[in-house]
Structure 1
Amino acid sequence: MSEAFLINFTPQETRVALIENGAVQELHVEREHSRGFVGNVYLGKVVRVLPGMQSAFIDIGLERTAFLHVADIWLDRTAGEQTRPIEKILHEGQSLVVQVLKDPIGTKGARLSTQISIAGRMLVYLPQEKHIGISQRIESEEGRNALRERLQRLIPAEEAGGYIVRTIAAKASDEELGADITYLRKLWSEIKSRSVGAFPPRALYHDLTLAQRVLRDLVTPETERIIIDSRENFQKLNAFATEYMTQVTALLEHYSGERTLFDLHGVEDEIQKALSRRVDLKSGGYLIVDQTEALTTIDVNTGGFVGARTFDDTVFKTNLEAAQAIARQLRLRNLGGIILIDFIDMENEEHRSQVLGELNKALARDHTKVSVGGFTGLGLVEMTRKRTRESLAHILCEACPTCGGRGEIKTARTVAYEVLRDLVREARQFNAREFRILAAPTVIDLFLDEEAQALAMLSDFVGKPISLHAESSYNPEQFDIVLL
């Protein structure tokens, strides 16, 4: 399966699209004013310890205090150190070197760990550890042992710290591994020197930019092209790759065409589709994707698809197609947390098994960790996808100012009846000469037509005249009652 990365630069943001076999599979957006914090290392200060939650709030200089759970506090197991209550480990005012595990999401602060890990192209350096771990994707025991032995020979004898060998290192030369070791040791040395004598909160290390992380983390042997639409940034990335990952330099291309890079490859259209609740399937079926604070639900519908011989076959074929589309939408929208999928009901157990297998197969290429359960008693598929950053919708959109994120607004009649109730309350509290209603044109039109009699009856009841004024700038739910 061929893949390519398209990298679009503007002064305000960087956007990256992963294309597999001509279709957009992933979208990454990083804005200059709100760059992510995952991987950053800070000297923080303990603000509050919460024994009941076995957690602490740490000030690392961000808008909201960050969150540290006792499970994310590093322990030296080789020295026999045992897990202790957090109030025995931390105290208010204490300085602490921490690393961000998860960006702030919604109202939640960043998630922290005291176990530092610095990622390179081939290796991840763990300065507090002493062991060498091998990626689980390297399945051959013989290959794992060989890699461990090679790395042990390359690590300087006097060096402390451990390493995790990434999957891409399976085919790396000794020179490439050695270069990664040197780079990571130098980086950790710089972080330590910045922390000496510093006062918290202070940033000690910022992770790479989005474009640099793509070269480091996302490029695979199947990547054929990395197309960049900015000459200046092409030169920067080329220099970065030449120094740290020479095998990537041959993949870099500068695009200078008249059409924008994302327009040329249809990425702009895919972004618009990824912000919609409805996802149309080629067969005529469709998905409805609803993202909430607690979880994401995906409903599968047959729509206009009647192509199969029987209803069972129609349902089966729609669900198979939906399984592939769902896996793509999860990556495209970067949906994380708990996900519930409501496939169309299938009586045939074999059909259920095949749909579940198709979903797992489609999710196998996801760079993010996923866990899929079977069908529940209610016929739903439960799954989780690791959430490390905001979803695409949360980056590009905000709650509707009219409905407040409900996805619905009150009808003009509902608002009109609220106005009438408020008028009664106002009349009981204030002895005004006249009441004036300011509301959206749709509400005022209702008072002039269908609810004119109700308004006249209320005017007689309160004994005061009531005038109307349409405010085109008001949203459909907004109104004011002015006392004259």
Structure 2
Amino acid sequence: MSQEVLINVTPRETRVAVVENGSLQEVFIERSRRRGLVGNIYKGQVSRVLPGMQAAFIDAGLARTAFLHASDIAAVDAALEAGPQPTPDIGRLLKEQQAVLVQVIKDPIGSKGARLTTHITVPSRYMVLLPGNPTVGISARIEDAGERARLRALGESFLEGSEGCGFILRTAAEGVSEEALTRDREFLLRLWRSIQVRAAAAQPGTLVHGDLPLVLRVLRDLVSDDIERVRIDSRENFDRVVAFCEQFLPDIVPRLEHYPGERPIFDLYAVEDEIQRALERKVPLKSGGYLIIDQTEAMTTIDVNTGGYVGHRTLEETIFKTNLEAAQAIVRQLRLRNLGGIIIIDFIDMDEAEHKRQVLRALEKALERDHAKTQISGVSALGLVEITRKRTRESLEHVLCEPCPACGGRGNVKSAETVCYEIAREILREARQFDVEKLLVLAAQEVVDLVLDEESDSFAELEEFIGKPIEFQAEPLYTQEQFDVVLM
């Protein structure tokens, strides 16, 4: 399976595309004005404790106070000497104005502030350091039993002299030599010591340790043996990446490539067109079916339709084939659009239990390639499949778009006919309250055209009823819903 990483760098924006067999699978965007915060470590100060929510608001120097739940506080065991409780008492863990070292685990999304934890983790290429948690974990993606045993033995040997820190061996550690893993361990311990020194000297509300910029994060976290090459269209950033990789990720260096072409790098595999399509509700399937994807505050819903696909055999077979294709397309859209939280999929109803099982299995198999943590339920009594996907950053739509100023994000506007009737009601209201000579209505061109054409008789009767002349004026800058009734 051929995979490439394309990196497009401009002074204000960095974009990374993961392409698999010529098809865009994931895209990451980071802008200088709004960089991601996940992984950053701050010295925060408790601004407010909320016992009813078992949480606290932390001032970490960000635009909005951040949220820390009791379950994300590392000192839980020490604070609960009285005995185990279902939920730790936040009032016994934190006090207002208390300084606390925290790490961002979820970026601010919408109106919500960042989500924090005191379970600090410091990642590198092969391992993740767990300060204060002297345990060893092995990536679940490493399936070979012998390799898991080797890595566990190495990880347990690393615990000695690790100053109370533990380690998670990442997927990239599979097959890596003991020498390389030892270097990774020493690097992580040195980095953690420097973080502790900076944290001790820092004032509350300041950044103690920032995670790597997007390009280097992608190389650290995503580039595996499956990636054939990494192309970067900026010579300056290419040189910087090579220097970084030579020091920390030497196995990646041969796969790095500077792209000097005049044609934009994202045009090589029509990435720009794919990004545009990822902002649309409707996703066509090759068979002629299609998906409808609606993203809301609470959840994302995905509806599967056969569309123009009529199949060659029975209706059940047509539905089964469409659902199988949809399962692959849905997982790609989840990754491409970075959809998180609760996702409800409405597959086309299938009668045969074996078809349901195969579609669910196809969905699970496709999700195995997803880097984000996902959980999937079976088919519900209503024929729906529920997925939860870990959300750490905003979706592609939220990064690239903002709510429509005409409809306020509803996705539709009132019809010109509806606005006409609203204008009539407002005229009646104003005419009864104020003694005026005439009324001037300012509205969008579409509304004025309707008033002067199909609704002319209605407004003539209204003029006669109130005994005042009504004039209409088209305002080119008004949206269809906007209007003003001016008393003259």
**TM range, smaller chain:** over 0.9
Structure 2 CA distance for aligned equivalents of residues 77 and 177 of structure 1? 31
Structure 1 CA distance for aligned equivalents of residues 235 and 400 of structure 2? 26
Q: Residue 171 of structure 1 aligns to a residue in which SS?
A: coil
Deviation at 1:462, TM superposition (A): 2.2
Native 8 Å contact 2:134 2:159 kept in 1? no
Quote the residue 1:351 is aligned against: 355
Matched, 1:34 2:16: no
Matched, 1:86 2:90: yes
Structure 1 CA distance for aligned equivalents of residues 412 and 463 of structure 2? 31
Q: Residue 137 of structure 1 aligns to a residue in which SS?
A: coil
Quote the residue 1:13 is aligned against: 13
Native 8 Å contact 1:155 1:181 kept in 2? no
The AA in structure 2 aligned to 1:274 is A
Deviation at 1:76, TM superposition (A): 6.7
Quote the residue 1:50 is aligned against: 50
Deviation at 1:79, TM superposition (A): 10
Task: Give the direction of change, closer, same or farther, for the CA distance of 1:144–1:77 in structure 2 (3 Å limit).
Answer: farther
Cα deviation, 1:33-64, whole Å, max 9, x if unaligned, reads 11110000001111111101100111111111
Structure 1 CA distance for aligned equivalents of residues 142 and 78 of structure 2? 26
Matched, 1:168 2:172: yes
Native 8 Å contact 2:292 2:304 kept in 1? yes
Quote the residue 1:445 is aligned against: 449
The AA in structure 2 aligned to 1:398 is E
The AA in structure 1 aligned to 2:189 is R
Of the three residues 326, 333, 351, the one matched with 2:330 is 326
Cα deviation, 1:184-237, whole Å, max 9, x if unaligned, reads 122212221222243211110111111101110001111110011110000111
Structure 2 CA distance for aligned equivalents of residues 457 and 79 of structure 1? 76
Of the three residues 245, 249, 268, the one matched with 2:249 is 245
Q: Residue 53 of structure 2 aligns to a residue in which SS?
A: coil
Cα deviation, 1:78-100, whole Å, max 9, x if unaligned, reads 99856640011111111111000
Matched, 1:230 2:230: no
Bigger mean CA deviation after superposition, 159-168 or 142-151: 142-151
**Large movers: runs of 4+ above 6 Å:** none
Q: Residue 174 of structure 2 aligns to a residue in which SS?
A: helix
Bigger mean CA deviation after superposition, 306-315 or 325-334: 306-315
Bigger mean CA deviation after superposition, 75-84 or 465-474: 75-84
Of the three residues 191, 215, 219, the one matched with 1:215 is 219
Quote the residue 2:402 is aligned against: 398
Deviation at 1:77, TM superposition (A): 4.8
Of the three residues 371, 375, 395, the one matched with 2:375 is 371
Task: Give the direction of change, closer, same or farther, for the CA distance of 1:247–1:155 in structure 2 (3 Å limit).
Answer: farther
Structure 2 CA distance for aligned equivalents of residues 146 and 457 of structure 1? 89
Quote the residue 1:185 is aligned against: 189
Structure 2 CA distance for aligned equivalents of residues 78 and 425 of structure 1? 67
Structure 1 CA distance for aligned equivalents of residues 179 and 33 of structure 2? 38
Q: Residue 358 of structure 1 aligns to a residue in which SS?
A: helix
Matched, 1:463 2:451: no
Native 8 Å contact 1:327 1:362 kept in 2? yes
Deviation at 1:5, TM superposition (A): 0.5
Structure 2 CA distance for aligned equivalents of residues 320 and 308 of structure 1? 16
The AA in structure 2 aligned to 1:106 is G
| Structure 1 unaligned blocks of 5 or more | none
Task: Give the direction of change, closer, same or farther, for the CA distance of 1:76–1:242 in structure 2 (3 Å limit).
Answer: farther
Task: Give the direction of change, closer, same or farther, for the CA distance of 1:80–1:133 in structure 2 (3 Å limit).
Answer: farther
Native 8 Å contact 2:231 2:258 kept in 1? yes
Quote the residue 1:432 is aligned against: 436
Of the three residues 401, 424, 427, the one matched with 1:423 is 427
Q: Residue 330 of structure 1 aligns to a residue in which SS?
A: helix
Native 8 Å contact 2:58 2:67 kept in 1? yes
Deviation at 1:32, TM superposition (A): 1.0
Native 8 Å contact 2:42 2:206 kept in 1? yes
Quote the residue 2:24 is aligned against: 24
Deviation at 1:295, TM superposition (A): 0.8
| Structure 2 unaligned blocks of 5 or more | none
Cα deviation, 1:239-273, whole Å, max 9, x if unaligned, reads 11111110011110000111101012110111011
Structure 2 CA distance for aligned equivalents of residues 160 and 256 of structure 1? 48
Matched, 1:270 2:299: no
Native 8 Å contact 1:42 1:99 kept in 2? yes
Structure 2 CA distance for aligned equivalents of residues 362 and 303 of structure 1? 23
Native 8 Å contact 1:179 1:244 kept in 2? no
Bigger mean CA deviation after superposition, 138-147 or 473-482: 138-147
The AA in structure 1 aligned to 2:93 is I
The AA in structure 2 aligned to 1:25 is Q
Of the three residues 340, 347, 351, the one matched with 2:344 is 340
Identity of aligned residues (%): 57
Structure 2 CA distance for aligned equivalents of residues 204 and 33 of structure 1? 20
Quote the residue 1:314 is aligned against: 318
Q: Aligned pair count?
A: 484
Deviation at 1:362, TM superposition (A): 1.4
Q: Residue 150 of structure 1 aligns to a residue in which SS?
A: helix
Deviation at 1:182, TM superposition (A): 2.2
Deviation at 1:315, TM superposition (A): 1.1
Native 8 Å contact 1:64 1:109 kept in 2? yes
Quote the residue 1:67 is aligned against: 67
Deviation at 1:450, TM superposition (A): 1.5
Quote the residue 1:285 is aligned against: 289
Structure 1 CA distance for aligned equivalents of residues 48 and 131 of structure 2? 27
Q: Residue 33 of structure 2 aligns to a residue in which SS?
A: helix
Matched, 1:478 2:486: no
Deviation at 1:137, TM superposition (A): 2.5
Deviation at 1:153, TM superposition (A): 4.1
